[in-house]
Amino acid sequence: MKIGLFGHGNMGTEIERLINESGKHQIVTVEESDVVIDFTSPEIVLENIKKAASLGKNMVVGTTGWYEHLKEVEKIVEESGAGLIYAQNFSVGANIFFQMIANAAKLFNKFDGYDVYGLEIHHKSKKDSPSGTALRIAREINGLQFTSVRAGRNPGFHQVVFDSEADSITLSHQAHNRSGFAAGALLATEFIEGKKGLYTFDELFKGEK
């Protein structure tokens, strides 16, 4: 498959490395591509989506912090006849973590006496706060309050604590590097090729075709 990249920062570099190692795909210009991957910034991702759609290119969007434009993006994708898949987090491990959080929340909702809070840490250059991953976790747990830290080089840490007078239960996900995000983005690229419409990574993760 021919893959174009919007953005060649840390994530773009990691995606290119995995593509070169795999030998399955090749990096080309956006105009020549079968699918475009975007890991840029919230300020420019909407314009990139419009450009890809105008070229009839299917797209994987790993950039977060733009979801207030979701309805607009859905319309753009529908009118162009292209396909787009997005996620708050493309890491397979993180998506397992989402399911763990959702299941834990259902259990704790049956009992009184537990408060819940969250902590997320990302590198100092990450622009959106709270992270898209934190917002996704918050969707699974109504009333969850997150503390966000932007410092150092951490590629992504998320922790949820269920706390009571009797005990505390802590669930956390720590990304060691960006390879998990990049690998998931490539899975999403293979999923979205030839499809039309708007998809989330959940649909790929559940094995829906």
Tell me the HSE value of 179 on the side-chain side, using a 13 A CA sphere: 5
C-alpha torsion 37→41→47→51, nearest 10: -20
C-alpha torsion 60→64→66→70, nearest 10: 50
Tell me if residue 173 is catalytic. Answer: no
Nearest to 192 by CA among 32, 6, 61: 61
Residue 175, H or E segment: none
Give the tokens for residue 57.
Answer: 């290119």
Complete DSSP assignment for 97-116: HHHHHHHHHHHHTTSSS-EE
Residues belonging to the chain? 209
Per annotation, catalytic residue among 25, 122, 158, 173 = 122
Per annotation, catalytic residue among 50, 110, 123, 126 = 126
Tell me if residue 126 is catalytic. Answer: yes
Which residues are catalytic, by number? Answer: 122, 126
